[in-house]
Amino acid sequence: MGCWNATCNVSRLPIFCGDEIVVIPLIAVSATVTANTSYATDNFVPFSFPIVGKYNDYGGIEDAVITEENDKLIRSYEFYKSNGDGTAPYKVEIGDDMEKFISEELCGSDAYFIKTNNTITYPNGLALVSVFFVHKNLYDTLVHEMGERVPFNMNECQRDLLKKKFEYEVSLCRKNIEDIRNMQEKNLITKDFADDWKYASFGEFSALAASIFCRGEIVSPCRGHWKLLAEECVNFSNEGIIDLAVEKALFIRALSALRMGFHCDSGAGSQSCETHIHYVLAQYVLKYIRDHTEEGQKCDTSTHPEEGTKEFSFFS
């Protein structure tokens, strides 16, 4: 087998060897695919933060930036792999090399699953795993665009509003847990409840995880894992996680605005280097925008070439 080009799941452009990419590991929200989707997360949701690196020319990622948050989160799952011969999937250990596991296993196979406790939604409790490739420049551009937008009747941009909301929810969770501890110390609650305050704290962390790390998800099968990072936020051990949560939420909003969703690849890899068909598509998209929107007419390159070039050049 030879090398091949991957596909950007947003632009549908080829990803060539050495291109900077963002890989988003996904988990299916159910055992069946929803045919008519309304949201970007109707079929798949991220089970970790995005992973930045370079495409390695063979379906995987190299020079990957594996953050402490992602390493901790990904290792909290149990991974299983199918032989494709009808036998039961077997458990796979991640090992010491997380980049190798991501690149050679998750990116290079369509037969991986994550073990869950939900045997109703997932047969045998196994949820299908996939990956979502995006050119890094495009990913950054979309996150920036959504973050800088100012909602109607608001004075602040989306990024600042989300960050303030997430910080407030973390502080509220922190206060609720502290109140439980104070009541325990002052004997203001029953012994049974006092002995079980850790369970109450778990509930707080889980709710916080759903609110900030699973933002925009209709179904959140990974809430119990994201709570590990929610606990770090509450305990002041890693306040930078909030910025990662904001970025994750902004990208999901960008996909929704684009009328796209997280999905498995179509034409995941090819040795073809054709890009002209993408050019044809892009010309149609620009013409449609110019013909149907006031913003597009302002950016018509026939009358405003510099403005039009600036507006639509994502990779400059």
> Which of 170-174, 212-216, 269-273 has the lowest average pLDDT?
269-273
pTM of the model: 0.85
Residue 227 contacts residue 206 (beta carbons within 8 Å): yes
- 3-state SS, residue 283: helix
pLDDT at residue 311 greater than cutoff 60: no
Q: What is the DSSP string of 155-219?
A: SS-HHHHHHHHHHHHHHHHHHHHHHHHHHHHTT-S-HHHHHTHHHHHHHHHHHHHHHHTSTT-SS
Q: Looking at residues 271-284, what average pLDDT do you find?
A: 84
- 3-state SS, residue 136: helix
Cα–Cα distance, 189 to 200 (Å, whole number)? 13
| Interval 141-183: pLDDT, tens | 999 999 999 998 999 999 999 999 999 999 888 888 777 677 6
> What's residue 305's pLDDT?
44
**pLDDT level of residue 205 (50, 70, 90 thresholds):** confident
